[in-house]
Amino acid sequence: MANNSTDLPVFDTSVPRADDVSDATKEMVSEMASAADYFELLKPRVMSLVVFTTLIGMIMAPTGADGGVHPVVAFTALLLIALGAGASGALNMWYDADIDANMERTRTRPIPSGRVSKDSALGFGLTLSAGSVMCLGVFVNWLSAGLLAFTIFFYAVVYTVWLKRHTAQNIVIGGAAGAFPPVVGWAAATGSVDVLPVLMFAIIFFWTPPHFWALALLKNKDYTENNIPMMPVVAGSKNTRFQILAYSLVMAGFAALPALLGHAGLFYALFSTALSAVFVAMSFWLFIAPDSRQAAASKALFAYSILYLFLLFAGFPADKLIGI
Amino acid sequence: MKEEFEGTPEWSDELLARRRKRAAVMGWVLAGRVVLFFLVTVVKLGSNIVQRAL
């Protein structure tokens, strides 16, 4: 039998499923893993968004009389927060390996494809979680370490274990995990939390449902077959598309608040309004789109939502730089 | 379904190469950690390093 998901097996491994094999097999699975496989456990694409939003939180934090956090400490904080976020991704892959194996989008991940054993992924995730939190506490401050620990717990336990398979509100509530990084970044830089990072949290929090549901609409078959109660599975396409529009409007409101409350200037106000207007327009288009155009509209909104968050958050330091 | 390898698995060149590469990456990661810990320690101590009881 051939392993058709990787180009590895010199052994006739028959793609041992990592959660149902002997110790000898597990050992061989872990020997097959490359460093890149472990890196993939960290969900690098999600991690890049975490790094970016954390960095923005740190950049926007006031420097204070002492000139702010030292660049070496800032880099260390960024690295540790990224590793903590990645660790929660590894724990998510460990717990979700069974459903990942049945979904087209996730079946080539390291565990379901048999390149990394579940035990190795669990050990990797736990070690990185504990290590990143402890080091952040010792090297930077304990507020940011506590927030990072809570973020990891929220994603790995609250979202992955409690919410994902049990409620259609899974990614609404679970979205908080992805919204914490700018707050953690701000806390790392200042040792406190202020209004602006909380607004950044709210923007990402309300951005998550439209972003993820646009994808869920496209992958509805996979979620239905695996009994995962994503909103399109539970409430249907029409209801989900309405909720996407509703959340987009709320998100646009929060995106405008930093300027309205005086935490950002005119450039941010104009830039964020333009970006949010396009987001809401695309959500509206998805809502009214005929059946034949819905897949294209979902795909377009999903792609734009990623660009939106990057550009919106880039708008904060750009506004600070321009100073109008 | 329970699947097992029969007998003692042979180390192929591919697997040995993977293990070597993993070990090399781990070595670089550890070396990077040592450097980072050293730099952070120096930065955290700052000028306090000379303000100690003799």
Q: Looking at chain B from residue 35 to 54, which residues have their Cβ under 8 Å from any Cβ of chain A?
A: 36, 39-40, 43-44
Question: Which residues, including other chains, have CB under 8 Å from residue A79's CB and lie 6 or more apart?
Answer: B36
Per-residue pLDDT of chain A (324 residues; tens, 9 = 90+): 334 444 433 334 444 444 555 666 666 666 678 889 999 999 999 999 999 999 999 999 998 666 678 999 999 999 999 999 999 999 999 999 999 999 888 999 999 998 899 999 999 999 999 999 999 999 999 999 999 999 999 999 999 999 999 999 999 999 999 999 999 999 999 999 999 999 999 999 999 999 999 999 999 998 999 889 999 999 999 999 999 999 999 999 999 999 999 999 999 999 999 999 999 999 999 999 999 999 999 999 999 999 999 999 999 999 999 876
Q: Give the pLDDT of residue A6.
A: 41
CA distance B52 to chain A (A): 21
C-beta atoms of B40 and A33 within 8 A = no
Domain ranges of chain B: 14-44
The interface pTM score, or ipTM, of the predicted complex is 0.75
Per-residue exposure over A78-108, b if at least 16 CB sit within 10 Å of its own CB, e if not: bbbbbbbbbbbbbbbbbbbbebbbebeebee
C-beta atoms of A76 and B25 within 8 A = no
Mutate to test the interface with A, among B8, B13, B18 (most CBs of A within 10 A): B18
pTM: 0.86
C-beta atoms of B12 and A28 within 8 A = no
Q: Give the pLDDT of residue A42.
A: 96
Task: Please give the share of chain A, as a percent, with pLDDT higher than 90.
Answer: 82
Could you give the angle at which helices A195-218 and A291-322 cross, rounded to 10 degrees? 160
Mean pLDDT of B23-30: 94
Residue A112, sorted as left (phi over 0), alpha (psi -120 to 50) or beta, turns out to be alpha
Q: Give the pLDDT of residue B16.
A: 85
Q: Residue A228 in contact with residue A99, Cβ under 8 Å?
A: yes
C-beta atoms of A24 and B14 within 8 A = no
Q: Residue A53 in contact with residue A182, Cβ under 8 Å?
A: yes
Q: How far apart are CA B18 and CA B21, in angstroms?
A: 5
Confidence label for B10 from pLDDT (cuts 50, 70 and 90): low
The length of chain B in residues reads 54
Could you write out the DSSP letters of every residue in A205-224?
HHHHHHHHHHHHHHTHHHHH
Q: Give the pLDDT of residue A4.
A: 42
C-beta atoms of A14 and B3 within 8 A = yes
A1 to chain B, any CB pair closer than 8 A? The answer is no
Tokens 């956090």 identify what position?
Answer: A69
Q: Residue A282 in contact with residue A301, Cβ under 8 Å?
A: yes
- Residue from A4, A160, A164, A10 nearest A88 by CA: A160
Task: Please give the share of chain A, as a percent, with pLDDT higher than 70.
Answer: 89
